[in-house]
Structure 1
Amino acid sequence: MFEPEDAEPRAADAPGPRRGRRLLVLLAAAVALLIVTGIVADFWTDLLWFRSVGFTRVFRTQLLTKAGLFVAFALPVAAILAANITIAYRVRPPFRPRRDTTTEELWRMFEARRRLVTTGVAAGVGLLVGWVAAGEWRVFLQWHHGVRFGVTDPQFGLDVAFYAFGYPWWRFLLGAAFTTVLLAMLVALATHHLAGGLRFEGRPRLTSAAQAHMSLLIGLFVLLKAVAYWLDRYGLAISSDGVFPGWTGLKYTQANAVLPVKAIMASIAVICAGLFFVNVVRRSWLLPGIGIGLLLFSAVLIGGIYPVLVQQFYVRPAEADREAQFIARNIAATRQAYGVQDARIQNYDAVTDVEPGQLRADADTTASVRLLDPSVVSSTYQQLQQVRGFYAFADLLDVDRYLIDGRHQDTVVAVRELNLSGLGQGQRTWVNQHLRYTHGFGFVAARGNTRNPDGKPTFVESDIPPQGKLGKYEPRIYFGEQSPEYSVVGAPPGAAPQEIDYPDDTSPTGQRNNTYRGTGGVPVGSLGRRLLFSLRFGEEKILLSSAINAESRILYIRHPRERVAKVAPWLTLDSNAYPAVVGGRIVWIIDGYTTTNGFPYSTRVTLDEATADSLTSPERQVITPREEINYIRNSVKATVDAYDGTVTLYAWDDTDPVLRTWTRAFPGTVKPRSAIPPELLAHLRYPEDLFKVQREILARYHVTDPQAFYGGQDFWRIPDDPTEGSGHRGRQPAFYLTLRMPDQPRPTFSLSTTFVPANRPNLAAFMAVDAEPGEDYGTIRVLQLPRTTAIPGPGQVQNNFNSDSRVAQIINLLRRGESDVVYGNLLTLPVGGGLLYVEPIYVKARSGTSYPLLQKVLVGFGDRIAFENTLQEALDAVFQGRAGTTTGEAPATPPGGQPASGDLNQALADARKALADAERARVAGDWAAYGEAQRRLAEAIERATAAQQGSQPSPAPTP
């Protein structure tokens, strides 16, 4: 009559497992709710962002296309899988043989929940396939809206649009069909096995109904294989066989062996598929087995061995002759696809001898030589123009041109951006980082061809508030390359400004505050939107902060390239966005490329490899760094307003069929070229990454004779960067500078590079492209040097500079004490009938707060070298005392206007004293005194060198 002592506790614990299951269900529901909420928040804030920039059509088109593809693939796949499971179940044998316990248990579970399992499997796989299909929205839109190139491939006579737009889509459809049939076969086999229609007793056995079912599915699979064989024929025009790395298109073996084999294999596959379809009725594996055997035998013998025999025993013994026709196709297609078919290549018999007045005809070019190296002077800008620690400049500055004092001049430009890492630890609160420190301030520009007497840049626009020659403009940088992830700005009229604007010694607080009045960003005053953005950024303070008001706006996705990439996801963007003052605003200019990997016969390049050089950094790499292409056009010029974030796309190459295709897919998003304002046009330039890709191509494809191309004896390569200014090794960068090529009437803002032979260090060619919008914009000119003349290449010239005894002595003196020497960019210019090398030399302190100052200039022409205080002095020294040109630099005279002393000991003593004075000034932070000491050091070194050589020194510059 009494229960055991543990009976009641067991009764009390009985609900425990149920409570555990409920807890797990609640936990899973909470996690699912969080995921769904996050997805909704990201989706809705993305929609708000697209509305704020006026590109809602892009968002809508992407969304509808993805949704349409998802449904169009998910539903048929799910239906096909469900149908095959149902068919396999309905044709199950009425009497099932005895089977193992596990299989019986699985069958009972399946039969009890057949509809649920069928729906679950079909829906799960369908959702997965639909998700993959939605990711192919770009491929679909290009196929759906594709326009003709007007160029046909030489083998099949099809327009290039078929390969660029159509072929990828048909390949995707075929792959989806293969996947669907294969999945249908798997679920059908699994169902037949559970239902008893497939037994494994010694060898697999199928019932008659199951055999008919599987014969139909296998027949469909083999029929799709026949379609694949036929489609492969066209794929040969854009595939690479590895014989010539990077090449696409048919070679001799593909055209004469593989192409007919593909047609034969397609026919055999159709026959084999027909035998399987017959087996649906006949239900014997004999004929289908013979068909599969024939298909496999043909694939090995005809598809595999025969092409290898043709290549090995017919093509390879006379490969140059056999492949000549196809090499010619590759050369023509590659030059056309990369836009270098009209490159002007001319022989240039460069002289190495010098004589007085030799540069007279090139006075304009030498006067424009850019001495300021944008890869070196960033820290100089930082020290001289940073103003406060929460401002920063880019590590690599940009080169542009401005109309200054009535003349267009090359300038090195940068913007003073906000740098939150410069805040002290106590200042890094959420309010400071997102509500108060919201923007950078100001534009800085310096002449590229001059310097101050102490080696500092000659600024034409500087300081806070901005002072200079660029006129009035909005200086605030709310959208930039270093902007915070998000900032909340704006306040009601009359409210006290809360944003830190800029330092101001006249203000009682030492700063000026500002309230954002622009139209950029998204209004975030309502509770609902604050909740959405709290979820997006994972920050509850957005929801709770009382500082956010009805007029507040949130700025996000602020990097110029990210903004352009989001509104134009079909563009590949140049790695460098550069700032310019245009129409009273600072705007970022970004070059956009349209590319494809489907141009028949054109050689492929990988963008990150083709654009890499000694200055490349991850921040300046293209957005899709591993993207392979074999066609590229600079089809779009994009701008981003630094104040309100407005994104504008302008068609630059409106004849490009890829651009025309995308503008049909996204109508109204790209403005015509005629809409580019003249003040913006003046700052557009030929893009760096395109030029780097083109020089990579022209290093080989300047050779147009198939036999010579096959031999490869005349191929070039881009030389390594011989200077130390970049901090690491790599290929020499391309340089923006103003120069005049031999066939040009006047100097032009250009982008230039050099080539050396593939296996030698001497100069092979010099290449420049007109980078300034105008009639000759984009014209590529190549000066090809005589193959028998050993003109020094960049590496050899740098070696000559370093090994020159006088140069080495001065460099050693400059490096004494706490100073170090930085080599600037080694520029090459075609002047005086030869090639002139110019390299600026900077001096900076080795420790503490330091920045490089331009102190000397190295010049080389032929075998003659000069190392002087100014470019003018160096040119005159090389060209026997009178170069015949004026660089615009002020004449250098020693203090007091007296000749410098020739006494070596006194000069060395003066140099040591100058070094000591420079170090004391550096420690004290007196940069004016530091610059003066550096000037005296350079002057003393000049006197010491002249005294040692027993000649009158070139006078040093006066402050």
Structure 2
Amino acid sequence: MSLLFSYLMSGERSDPLSLPLKAFFLFILLLFFGVTLFSRFVLDYKWFESVGYPQVFLVTLTARLFLFALGSLVSFLLFLFFWRWCKRSILSSVTVFAPFWEQIEGASREYIDVTPETSVRRVIKSIEMPLLLLFALVSLLAGLGLSARWSTVLLYLNKASFGAVDPIFGKDIGFYIFTLPFVNTILNYLIALFILISLVLILAYLSFNWRLLGEEIPPSLQAALIPLFLFLAAKAYLSRFNILYSATGAVYGAGYVDVHINQYIPLIISIILLGTAIAIPVSSLISTRGSIKIPVAAVALVVVVSILGSGTAWFVQEFKVSPNEIVLEEPFIENNIRLTNKAYGLEGVHEEIYPLTYNLTIDEITDSPSIKNIRLWDHRPLLTTFQQRQEIRTYYGFSNLAVDRYHLNGELVQTWLAAREMLPDKLKGTADTWINRHLIYTHGIGVVMAPVNAVDEQGLPEMIVKDIPPRIEVEGIKITQPRIYYGEETNNYIITNTNREEFDYPMGDENQYTTYKGKGGIPLTPLNKIFSTIVLGEVKLYTSEYITEESRLHLYRNVNERAEKITPYILFDNDPHTFISSDGRIYWMLNGFLTTERYPYAEPTRFNNNRFNYIQDSVKAVIDAYNGTITYYIIKNDPLLTAYSKIYPGLFKPLSSMPEDFKAHLRYSEDLFKIQANIYTVYHMKNPEVFYNKEDRWEIPTEKYETAEIRVEPYNVLLQMDDKLQFLTILPFTPVGRDNMISWMAVKQDEPEYGEITVYKFTKEEQIYGPSQIEARIDQDETISRDLTLWGQSGSRVIRGNLLVIPYKNSIIYIEPLYLAAETGSIPELKRVIAFYNNSVAMEPTLNEALKKVLGASNRTTSREVTIPEEGTIDSLIQQTIEHYNAAKKALISGDIEAYGREMKNVERLLQKLEEETGEK
């Protein structure tokens, strides 16, 4: 600092070319950043224009620019105003401490008086320009910070009512989601600004006239401190609403201590801060300058109140609440239960008892659509099969599978579908060139489809859509445009309509070529070519002789990235799914959610590194795989979506405008279903006392996949329910710490009942096997265990697929497919199907054979168990009692609680009969 000061104070001047040279380099640097920023803005606008949403870009840009300009201008003007006021105050009368001026030749180390016409004026003049530049830089940063909150401001200006109020303050939920974040944004900006202004003033006075701060507050500093304390008082007052998000009580949200103690602490602090803002100007009326003791005392008092408040809250919690927690916290637990269910879309869950009869017959499963559509192909082995049999060339790939349903050959069939995408990263050696990556290998082609249950003679899936070009082997599907320019793996930009034809697909030893005829992409006019070259940093875009004015630049081709670019405030799940429309085009459908973490009392959760306590199934985004056009459809018009619809008119379309063939492929998000299921394992308990004690907490069970224990994932089924075949996503539950199944959750995926969630409970008296218990029973079966061991010893890798719990006609059927693959990584083959029903297990080559075997065994066992001879002798009754008792002991040893209970009921029934017979004798 002393060297810098010496440099500023000295009369020496540097090289006269130095300043122009620095100015030139600064100009070049600013020009570079300016041109790059402008080019990015223009290219972004052109992209939004190409997808049909230029108004979205303009609304967002206008809001951001306005807030940036407003924040920067207000900040700079306030800095300038207070600095000039401070400068006049300093120049009017200054006493400077000598050590600060030791670089001034001949200066004394004693106190010296300096008039405004002497060195002080020169010093201030020398630092004023750098100081103004610093003010400008800080103002720009303040403007950037404010512009980053553009969505908060726009949401406030377009807010909508939630139609519900919080139970503590009685304010509409929208106040916490729209109004409070906006007010806090403005307050945070102003508080930060006036803190910086106050610091600048204090540093200035300390540097030039430190004695001014000894006892009194200069007028300019008073003028900065008054609004600062006012804003701090407002901030403290609003912080009382934070008790609705408290995590210190029995549940998330305001508890007994929060309501009776903690909410008043910010209120007291806000009164102190407000009083300070009033006391500062009042004290200046009494004396010439306000006393510096006032803000110092205020800060100390705030600290004392905070400490006393925290201590009081702790004392009440420890000595009043904790000994009587369930009684005192009960109303607040009720608030948490009710509002959490509402925030996660679970308030409308229908619960009903699922009665079990176990009287299925072989005739009832023959030709049943529900049984025929039981999934035998898990996505992991099937994806491996698709990759090895249908990628065709190394540069193609399948990244994901989509489960769906189609009307094929006149029947509704559950299918797996995968899009064959181009993977330019697989181009190797001399083929990995800029031209190949961006001009020639531009698109994938076709899809592969297989029914979830169809197996050929080799144990492989029956593919009903396959090969290149796509070959279709069923009625009900056609593909008129198989090319995929936009997908899950399309992460690079491409340029179409160049002087080089695009590679289309291989045909024998020859390659077929094509030219893009769609409407996607940005036209590469001369100006657009310049902007693209600057933004993408690729000179070849400008110099390549293959690129013409007819060429089109395709950006943001990844479907998730594409959807998020237009609607960054929507959270999309991890599973975009492909479907084929009735006119033969390939589309992607994405599930979008609107979230917030400001919903009062609702328990927070995390997904994809996002924390929230409110989520709604709001939007479906449909993207054309060829053109890249994207349409957003409203699934549930919650208040957040209503606000965004006002901000961006025309962006979101009603579900009624969605084509019927699109509606036929609606799918409920599995990610959302898992979030809701995890919440419901706890929040199905509506009784506060039961909830507090966690007496009836559920969990998602585990199963064995290959050799690992994994959590059961939601799975899709076609089930005959309510007299019609319905496409459902289901998931079983077990009690915490126990393996038996207690209930299962299902959500409907077909219109008009899309999104309806039902939880089917088993009665407390019934002990229903959970997935891990079924896995154990399978392992205990001698025949199955022997075969698994033999296959493993013969060099094959045994893959145990997902265990499916299938509710069907008041029964529960368990199905587990079994695959074999060579250790070297060959294609998995479906080797066996394991079925379990009513305490009978079988492993057979096909699903029908396995089901017939367990149904036959179950029916024989059931008839034996319920048959008691009407005229049995005492000897025969004793013999039967012994048999059933022995069977009960065997069931108990094997852990089969259900069979044990059934056998003991038979023993009890026989003993009663024996007693009757003995009494008659």
> What TM-score, normalized by structure 2, do the two folds share?
0.85
CA pair 97-530 structure 1, distance change in 2 beyond 3 A: closer
2:64 aligned with 1:66: yes
Measured in 2, the distance between the counterparts of 1:423 and 1:595 equals: 40
The one-character-per-residue Cα deviations of 1:48-101 (angstroms, maximum 9, x if unpaired) are 111100111111011110011112222112222222222222112524233214
* Equivalent residue number for residue 243 of structure 2: 236
Measured in 1, the distance between the counterparts of 2:795 and 2:32 equals: 58
* Equivalent residue number for residue 689 of structure 2: 707
**1:473: how far off?**
2.0
Measured in 1, the distance between the counterparts of 2:121 and 2:266 equals: 48
Measured in 1, the distance between the counterparts of 2:692 and 2:837 equals: 35
For the Cα contact (< 8 Å) 1:876–1:883, is it kept in 2?
Answer: no
**1:559: how far off?**
0.7
Match for 1:645 among 624, 628, 633? Answer: 628
The one-character-per-residue Cα deviations of 1:287-335 (angstroms, maximum 9, x if unpaired) are 655555444332322x222222221111111101101101111111111
Measured in 2, the distance between the counterparts of 1:519 and 1:289 equals: 67
User: What's the RMSD between the two structures over aligned residues?
Assistant: 2.6
Of structures 1 and 2, the one with the larger relative CO (CA 8 A, separation 6+) is: 1
For the Cα contact (< 8 Å) 1:440–1:477, is it kept in 2?
Answer: yes
2:318 aligned with 1:305: no
CA pair 883-186 structure 1, distance change in 2 beyond 3 A: farther
SS of structure 1 residue aligned to 2:380 = coil
Match for 2:854 among 856, 878, 888? Answer: 878
Measured in 2, the distance between the counterparts of 1:406 and 1:179 equals: 68
Measured in 2, the distance between the counterparts of 1:427 and 1:740 equals: 53
Instruction: Output the amino acid matched with 1:695.
Output: A
Match for 1:379 among 374, 379, 384? Answer: 384
* Equivalent residue number for residue 603 of structure 2: 603
* Equivalent residue number for residue 908 of structure 1: none
Measured in 2, the distance between the counterparts of 1:95 and 1:544 equals: 65
Measured in 1, the distance between the counterparts of 2:421 and 2:295 equals: 72
Match for 2:394 among 380, 389, 395? Answer: 389
The one-character-per-residue Cα deviations of 1:821-880 (angstroms, maximum 9, x if unpaired) are 2222221111353422211111222216x2212121112234322111011111112122
* Equivalent residue number for residue 277 of structure 1: 281
For the Cα contact (< 8 Å) 2:443–2:504, is it kept in 1?
Answer: yes
**1:16: how far off?**
11
Runs of 5+ in structure 1 lacking a partner? 1-13, 608-624, 885-959
* Equivalent residue number for residue 83 of structure 1: 81
* Equivalent residue number for residue 700 of structure 2: 718
Measured in 1, the distance between the counterparts of 2:711 and 2:845 equals: 28
2:481 aligned with 1:474: yes
* Equivalent residue number for residue 413 of structure 1: 417
2:339 aligned with 1:333: yes
CA pair 110-367 structure 1, distance change in 2 beyond 3 A: farther
CA pair 307-555 structure 1, distance change in 2 beyond 3 A: same
For the Cα contact (< 8 Å) 2:237–2:270, is it kept in 1?
Answer: yes
* Equivalent residue number for residue 537 of structure 2: 538
Measured in 2, the distance between the counterparts of 1:671 and 1:355 equals: 46
Match for 2:214 among 205, 216, 230? Answer: 205
2:644 aligned with 1:668: no
CA pair 701-102 structure 1, distance change in 2 beyond 3 A: farther
CA pair 16-103 structure 1, distance change in 2 beyond 3 A: closer
CA pair 400-518 structure 1, distance change in 2 beyond 3 A: same
2:327 aligned with 1:321: yes
CA pair 685-410 structure 1, distance change in 2 beyond 3 A: same
CA pair 362-713 structure 1, distance change in 2 beyond 3 A: farther
CA pair 269-103 structure 1, distance change in 2 beyond 3 A: farther
Q: Which moved more, 1:71-80 or 1:182-191?
A: 71-80
2:192 aligned with 1:179: yes
1:537-616 equivalences under 5 Å are 537-582=536-581, 583-607=583-607
* Equivalent residue number for residue 781 of structure 2: 804
**1:739: how far off?**
2.3
The one-character-per-residue Cα deviations of 1:610-664 (angstroms, maximum 9, x if unpaired) are xxxxxxxxxxxxxxx221111111111111100010011111213x111110010
Measured in 2, the distance between the counterparts of 1:73 and 1:126 equals: 7
Q: Which moved more, 1:642-651 or 1:684-693?
A: 684-693
For the Cα contact (< 8 Å) 2:491–2:556, is it kept in 1?
Answer: no
Match for 1:126 among 119, 136, 139? Answer: 139
Measured in 1, the distance between the counterparts of 2:22 and 2:619 equals: 53
Measured in 2, the distance between the counterparts of 1:187 and 1:586 equals: 62
2:714 aligned with 1:734: yes
Match for 2:504 among 498, 501, 505? Answer: 501
CA pair 479-285 structure 1, distance change in 2 beyond 3 A: closer
* Equivalent residue number for residue 898 of structure 1: none
* Equivalent residue number for residue 48 of structure 1: 46
2:202 aligned with 1:189: yes
2:68 aligned with 1:57: no
For the Cα contact (< 8 Å) 1:791–1:862, is it kept in 2?
Answer: no
Measured in 1, the distance between the counterparts of 2:854 and 2:529 equals: 68
For the Cα contact (< 8 Å) 1:174–1:228, is it kept in 2?
Answer: yes
* Equivalent residue number for residue 433 of structure 2: 429
**1:817: how far off?**
4.0
2:154 aligned with 1:141: yes
Percent identity over the alignment? 29
* Equivalent residue number for residue 827 of structure 2: 851
For the Cα contact (< 8 Å) 2:819–2:831, is it kept in 1?
Answer: yes
Aligned length: 827
The one-character-per-residue Cα deviations of 1:733-789 (angstroms, maximum 9, x if unpaired) are 111121245xx3333111111222222232222111112222x22121112234454
* Equivalent residue number for residue 861 of structure 1: 837
2:636 aligned with 1:636: no
Measured in 2, the distance between the counterparts of 1:883 and 1:636 equals: 48
**1:591: how far off?**
1.1
**1:793: how far off?**
1.9
* Equivalent residue number for residue 760 of structure 1: 738
CA pair 192-680 structure 1, distance change in 2 beyond 3 A: same
**1:730: how far off?**
4.8
Match for 1:698 among 680, 694, 697? Answer: 680
Measured in 2, the distance between the counterparts of 1:556 and 1:715 equals: 48
Measured in 1, the distance between the counterparts of 2:70 and 2:859 equals: 73
CA pair 26-161 structure 1, distance change in 2 beyond 3 A: same
* Equivalent residue number for residue 256 of structure 2: 252
SS of structure 1 residue aligned to 2:546 = coil
SS of structure 2 residue aligned to 1:865 = strand
**1:118: how far off?**
4.0
SS of structure 2 residue aligned to 1:329 = helix
2:521 aligned with 1:521: yes
Match for 2:802 among 806, 825, 831? Answer: 825
CA pair 362-171 structure 1, distance change in 2 beyond 3 A: farther
* Equivalent residue number for residue 610 of structure 1: none
**1:358: how far off?**
8.9
* Equivalent residue number for residue 919 of structure 2: none
* Equivalent residue number for residue 938 of structure 1: none
**1:134: how far off?**
0.7
> What TM-score, normalized by structure 1, do the two folds share?
0.82
Measured in 2, the distance between the counterparts of 1:480 and 1:883 equals: 50
Measured in 2, the distance between the counterparts of 1:511 and 1:594 equals: 45
For the Cα contact (< 8 Å) 2:840–2:858, is it kept in 1?
Answer: no
**1:42: how far off?**
2.0
For the Cα contact (< 8 Å) 1:558–1:645, is it kept in 2?
Answer: yes
Runs of 5+ in structure 2 lacking a partner? 1-11, 105-118, 861-921
Measured in 2, the distance between the counterparts of 1:777 and 1:15 equals: 78
Measured in 2, the distance between the counterparts of 1:578 and 1:377 equals: 16
